Each structure stands twice: as C-alpha cells, then as structure tokens.
C-alpha cells in the first residue's frame, strides 16, 4: 500500500511540474511578446546567446571537419572501386593514340614512295625493313620481299627521298640490301648541274664521298648528286643526296666531295625495290640533242643539194644521191647519160648543161 501511494504521489508531482512548466512558458511568451527590446527577457536572451556563441563556432567547426572527413572517406572508397577501371581506360587511350600515330607516319612514308615512283616512272616492289646488320663495319638491312616476289640481286633500292642501296642477296621471301653508307659499296654518280662524274663510296659515319672528280670539275656546296647509270649497278638519274663539302684536292688530277644522303638511312623502314625506270630528265636532254643534230644534218643536206643544182651536173648528182636514196641515184645516172649525150653532140652551152643537171636532180 505504501509503495502504491508513493508511485501515485510521484506521478502527481510530474503532472503538476509539467503543467507548471507549460503555464510558465505561456506566461513568458506573453510577456516576451508584449515587452520591448529592452525588457528583462530580451536582455536575458542576449546574454545567453553571447555566452553560447563560442560553443556554436566550435560545433560548426566540428561539423565541417566531420563532413570533410566523411567526404574524403567516400572518395577513397569510390577511388578504390573505380581506379582500376580508369587506369585500364587510360591505357586503352594511350594505345589507340600510339597506333594512330604509327598509321599516320606509315601513310606519310608510303605516300612519299608513291610520289617518287610517279616522278621517275618506276616499276617496282614495295617492301619493309625487318632486320639490320649488327656488325659495326657493315651497313646492311633485310627486307620482307625475296625471289618469290620478283626481287633479284643487283636491283636498286629506294627510300622515301632517294637511293639507299642495292640488293646483294635474296632468299625466297627475304633479301639483303647493302646500303650506300656501307664502306664496301660503290656507285657511279654525278653532280646533276655540272654533270661531273665520280664514284660514290660509303662510310661508317653516315656520310658519302664522291671521289675521282676531275680537278677542274665545277662542284659546289648544295649541288644535287644523282646516279649516272655507268656500269649498270644503279639505274640512271635517281637522286642520292646533296653536296655538303668540297675538298680542295684528292690528288694531282682529281678532287672529292662530301655528300649527305637524302634519306635517313639509319632509320629506314619502308623501301621500293626498282624493277625498271622510265625516261629520266637526262634521257630527255639526250633525245633533244639527237633531234637537234638530225635537224642540222637535214638542213645541211638541203643546202648542199641547192648548191649542186647551180654549179653543175656532177655536184647535182651527188646531192640528189645523198638525199633521195636509190631512186635519186637512178635519176642521177639518167642525168649523167643525158649530159654525156649533150657532150657527144658537141654542145658547150652552159645553159644546156644546167638544164641537164636540173633534170638529173628531178
């Protein structure tokens, strides 16, 4: 009974306290709303706000730090789950870019070979370098085309900018190219502008030497050097390189020029094996000279024929014979017979002789 009485008393006290707090709150709210800003409740509010303001700042800092730490933890968790995927994607992009760059450079090299092929009217076989000599004193490369592809020993090999070497051996599917820079190589070459001829030899430093030039040959820095075609080792008129230095004397009767090859032979990748070369500029010049000589000879023959007609029977017969062939020769014989007939009749008139010559010429 006593326990129940105590419990009932405690419950009653809590109810009275709750009602008291509610009444006090209502009274304070009523007073707070009616009093001015200088009232006691407003003054108490300001004092309490000032007192707890540092606590608010500290609480805000703690909340911000907690939020930052939470974000960092979330980011770390996210990175761990996506990092491998991002790395893989990045590697794919790098590989694609590298592959595209390779395709681009290969297309540029092949386009240069096609341009060179069109310029010189070349028939040949494209090939790729698949091996290089490991010997320091030898400059050779191996290409991926051989005898089964129509490649044979002695054929000229072009890079993207000019001659780079010559086929020295073949197998069914590969061939070995001795580069111009090999000390054992030798090519008949000439200076394009002055036509001065010499022998081109290689060196291990990557330069070429045009030797055995005439001492008085006109050779200047910047002159283009091309194959001369002499000896048949290389096709005629193909560009090799540019003169970078001219030695004063090689001997008493010859001099030497240093030539830089047009192609970067040390980084050679794609080549063209030459089967045949069309008419070069040198051939065109020779044809023009031959045509001019023939035209001059024809003019001389015509002039000679005119002189013969005006000087007498014998000269007219010879001119007609040289310009008209067998038919003119028969006409000349007929003319000569006519002239003899006139002489046998005792005619010494020069006009008749000239007329007879004209008939012989006709």
Residue with the bigger pLDDT between 62 and 161: it is: 161
Question: Whole-structure pTM over 0.75, yes or no?
Answer: no
Place 304 in a pLDDT band, splitting at 50, 70 and 90: very low
Give per-residue pLDDT as tens, 43-66: 776 776 666 667 667 666 776 766
Task: Indicate the SS3 state at residue 279.
Answer: coil
From residue 74, alpha-carbon distances to 9, 63, 66, 70 in Å are: 54, 16, 12, 6
pLDDT reading at 108 higher than 80: yes
pLDDT reading at 224 higher than 50: yes
pLDDT reading at 127 higher than 90: yes
User: Which two tokens mark 202?
Assistant: 């290689």
CATH dotted code for 121-276? 2.40.10.340
Residue with the bigger pLDDT between 215 and 66: it is: 215
The arithmetic mean of pLDDT across residues 344-351, rounded, is 38
The arithmetic mean of pLDDT across residues 174-191, rounded, is 94
Q: How far apart are CA 180 and CA 190, in angstroms?
A: 15
pLDDT of the residue at 41: 66
Residue with the bigger pLDDT between 36 and 356: it is: 36
Closest CA to 217 of 197, 247, 200, 189: 197
Burial degree of 145 (CB within 10 A; 0-12, 13-18, 19+): buried
The arithmetic mean of pLDDT across residues 259-282, rounded, is 83
The arithmetic mean of pLDDT across residues 158-183, rounded, is 94
DSSP H/E element including 277: strand 270-277
Q: How far apart are CA 278 and CA 237, in angstroms?
A: 10
Give per-residue pLDDT as tens, 3-56: 565 666 677 788 888 888 888 777 777 776 767 667 776 677 677 666 666 766
pLDDT of the residue at 213: 92
Angle between helix 2-34 and helix 40-120 axes, rounded to 10 deg: 80
The arithmetic mean of pLDDT across residues 126-132, rounded, is 95
Give me the chain's average pLDDT, please: 74
Residue with the bigger pLDDT between 153 and 133: it is: 153
Closest CA to 249 of 211, 197, 201: 211
Q: How far apart are CA 32 and CA 155, in angstroms?
A: 112
Q: How far apart are CA 305 and CA 320, in angstroms?
A: 6
Give per-residue pLDDT as tens, 236-260: 899 999 999 998 665 567 889 999 9
The arithmetic mean of pLDDT across residues 101-118, rounded, is 87
260: which strand partners? 242
pLDDT reading at 276 higher than 70: yes
Ranges of each domain in the chain: 121-276, 285-361
């Amino acid at each position: 009974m006593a326990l129940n009485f105590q419990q009932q008393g405690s419950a009653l006290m809590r109810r009275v306290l709750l009602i008291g707090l509610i009444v006090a709150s209502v009274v304070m709210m009523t007073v707070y709303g009616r009093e001015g800003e200088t009232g006691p409740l407003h003054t108490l509010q300001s004092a309490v706000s000032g007192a707890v303001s540092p606590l608010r700042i500290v609480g805000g800092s703690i909340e911000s730090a907690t939020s930052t730490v939470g974000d960092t933890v979330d980011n770390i968790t996210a990175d761990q789950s996506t990092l491998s995927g991002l790395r893989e994607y990045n590697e794919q992009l790098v590989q694609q870019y590298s592959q595209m760059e390779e395709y681009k450079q290969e297309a540029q090299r092949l386009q240069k070979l096609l341009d060179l092929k069109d310029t010189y009217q070349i028939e040949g076989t494209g090939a790729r370098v698949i091996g290089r000599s490991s010997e320091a004193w030898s400059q050779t490369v191996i290409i991926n085309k051989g005898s089964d592809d129509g490649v044979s020993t002695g054929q000229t090999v072009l890079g993207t900018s000019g001659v780079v070497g010559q086929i020295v051996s073949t197998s069914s599917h590969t061939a070995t190219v001795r580069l111009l820079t090999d000390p054992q190589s030798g090519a008949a070459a000439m200076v394009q502008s002055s036509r001065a001829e010499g022998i081109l030899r290689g060196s291990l430093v990557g330069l070429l030497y045009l030797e055995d030039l005439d001492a008085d040959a006109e050779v200047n820095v910047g002159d283009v050097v091309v194959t001369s075609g002499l000896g048949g080792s290389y096709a005629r008129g193909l560009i090799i390189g540019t003169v970078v230095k001219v030695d004063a004397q090689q001997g008493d009767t010859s001099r030497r020029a240093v030539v830089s090859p047009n192609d970067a032979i040390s980084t050679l990748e794609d080549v063209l094996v030459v089967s045949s070369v069309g008419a070069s500029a040198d051939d065109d010049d020779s044809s023009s000279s031959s045509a001019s000589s023939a035209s001059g000879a024809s003019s001389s023959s015509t002039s000679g024929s005119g002189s013969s007609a005006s000087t007498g029977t014998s000269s007219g017969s010879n001119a007609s014979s040289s310009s008209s062939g067998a038919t003119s020769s028969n006409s000349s014989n007929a003319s000569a017979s006519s002239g003899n007939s006139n002489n046998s009749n005792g005619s010494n008139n020069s006009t008749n002789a000239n007329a007879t010559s004209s008939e012989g010429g006709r």
